[in-house]
Structure 1
Amino acid sequence: MVFKRLLRSAAAVLFLFAAGPAFPQGALKVGSTPTGVPFTFLDTKTNSVQGIMVDLITEIGKDAGFQVQIEPMQFSTLIASLTSNKIDIISAAMFATPARKEVIDFSDAVYSYGEGLIVPKTDTRSYVAAEDLKGEVVGAQVGTAFVDALKKTGLFSEVKVYDTIPDILRDVNTGRLKAGYADYPILAYNLKQGSFPEVRLVESYKPTIVGTVAIGIRKGDQELLAKINASLARLKANGALDKILGKWGLSAKGA
């Protein structure tokens, strides 16, 4: 009788664990980047990564029932960190490109935009297309969709690859680089801060590499993907996403 009672108790404990939450008790690790304002950036006052994608994944976690732990890392290491289980989610200014979709899964769309073009302020030409810079040396950030797209055009004498967008801005600011391509909202936000006074964002330029930012999830984590998409849909419907975008100076019309 005692043995049977022990078996029933053990079965009850196993049932409780099986019926518990699907997510681990600890927070899910979210890879994000210290450069990429307003989507993500290092807040030197708090020494933490902040921005649109941090606010968004935090709100999604609250809605879906999991906590998040932001893990700062370089943009080019995000996917490798996800596939090697060092992180559980990517929440950064990452386009859901076909090539990336072969390696990881993405949530529904968060925000869509194209590339921006920057040149020194002394260059007043109204550039419209990449062809206007044929034969020039231009720059783009490593790991972004812009690098391969620019190289494939065959228009430029060189496409220099930079670790971060501020690195591109600095070289354009000092005149060491003819032109740079990067995420339009990130360029616009950086220039508004006044740190690169000799750089001009070319408003006449028409982007051709338009993409959609989304949250990255490891292939096979279908339950997590479904929960993120369900929460994202609710945040879109109740206006919470629009408020997050507005907080960081972006219009919801871009999404």
Structure 2
Amino acid sequence: MLAAACHGRVRAPGELVIGSSPTGVPFSFVDPATNALTGAIVDIASSVARTMALSPDLRITPFSALIPSLVAGKIDMIAAALLRTPEREKIVAFSRPVYAYEGALVVRAGDRRAYPDLAAARGLRIGGQIGTRFIDQLHAAGVADVSTYENLSDLLRDLDHGRIDAGYGDAPILRYQLRVGPRRAVRIVPGFTAPAREELCLVMRKGDMLLPQVDRAIERLLPRRIPEIARHWQLEEAA
């Protein structure tokens, strides 16, 4: 058996333990009908594991606990909307990208002002998901009043109730939640340009010998299977 980076738990032959957050619709979430993890990045990670002839063992892990769980050896891979950042690259290893997208700015429906970028929204009370790249972008743009949330669903609820003026976060997640979630009097700002296009990768421990195999599996899946998954979860509009 392969040791999980000297952290006690042992990776069984043929097994890949994948941690995924339960609130990142459409990338990773718990299906209320089955109580099982599902979503675009979950499907991608499962396909990667099977391409490597490994059995995916999916574990529900809160977003804020993903990296600590990986480093501690409780899971072997992170499959979630956890974007690559220089700070995270010091702690964990990222695969080649499987998808890329930007942030979206969402405001109440009655706010018809133009917000071409984050700088134009500096005077607003803006919410973002704690621990995400988008909080960094808000601070870098000079937004002084930032409220943090555990998930974007709570952010949209507070925006709808007037507790914040705007929200900023993963464009595919915000679009999906506004499309299929509770009806809210909010809108995604058209014509908004995010400061960067972020890369979505699978995440593993530094030095994990499986990482090169993961990259090769992704390369095999990129031409057809990964685009099929993106279409299934209606991610194309954020591409």
Q: Calculate the TM-score normalised by the size of structure 1.
A: 0.86
Q: Structure 1 residues 63, 252: closer, same or farther in 2, change over 3 A?
A: farther
Specify the alignment match of 2:167 in structure 1.
180
Please tell me whether Structure 1 or Structure 2 has the larger radius of gyration of its CA atoms: 1
Specify the alignment match of 1:11 in structure 2.
none
Q: Structure 1 residues 253, 73: closer, same or farther in 2, change over 3 A?
A: closer
Q: Distance in 2 between matches of 1:119 and 1:94?
A: 24
Specify the alignment match of 1:66 in structure 2.
54
Question: Do the aligned partners of 2:27 and 2:41 also contact (CA within 8 Å) in 1?
Answer: yes
Letter in 1 for 2:222: K
Q: Distance in 2 between matches of 1:204 and 1:251?
A: 18
**TM superposition outliers: structure 1 runs of 4+ over 4 Å:** none
The SS at the match of 2:210 is helix
The SS at the match of 2:26 is coil
Specify the alignment match of 1:251 in structure 2.
236
The alpha carbon displacement at 1:131 in A equals 2.0
Q: Distance in 2 between matches of 1:44 and 1:209?
A: 33
Superposition pairs of residues 15-164 of structure 1, within 5 angstroms: 24-25=12-13, 27-156=15-144, 158-164=145-151
Letter in 1 for 2:69: S
Q: Which runs of 5+ in 1 are unaligned?
A: 1-16
Q: Distance in 2 between matches of 1:31 and 1:95?
A: 15
The SS at the match of 2:119 is helix
The alpha carbon displacement at 1:38 in A equals 1.0
More helix by share: 1
1:235 paired with 2:213, answer: no
Q: Distance in 2 between matches of 1:153 and 1:184?
A: 18
Q: Distance in 1 between matches of 2:162 and 2:108?
A: 6
Equivalenced residue count is: 231
More strand by share: 2
Q: Distance in 2 between matches of 1:62 and 1:190?
A: 29
Question: Do the aligned partners of 1:172 and 1:180 also contact (CA within 8 Å) in 2?
Answer: yes
Question: Do the aligned partners of 1:146 and 1:209 also contact (CA within 8 Å) in 2?
Answer: no
The alpha carbon displacement at 1:101 in A equals 0.8
The SS at the match of 2:222 is helix
Specify the alignment match of 1:217 in structure 2.
204
Question: Do the aligned partners of 2:108 and 2:166 also contact (CA within 8 Å) in 1?
Answer: yes
Specify the alignment match of 1:191 in structure 2.
178
Query: RMSD of the alignment, in Å?
Result: 1.8
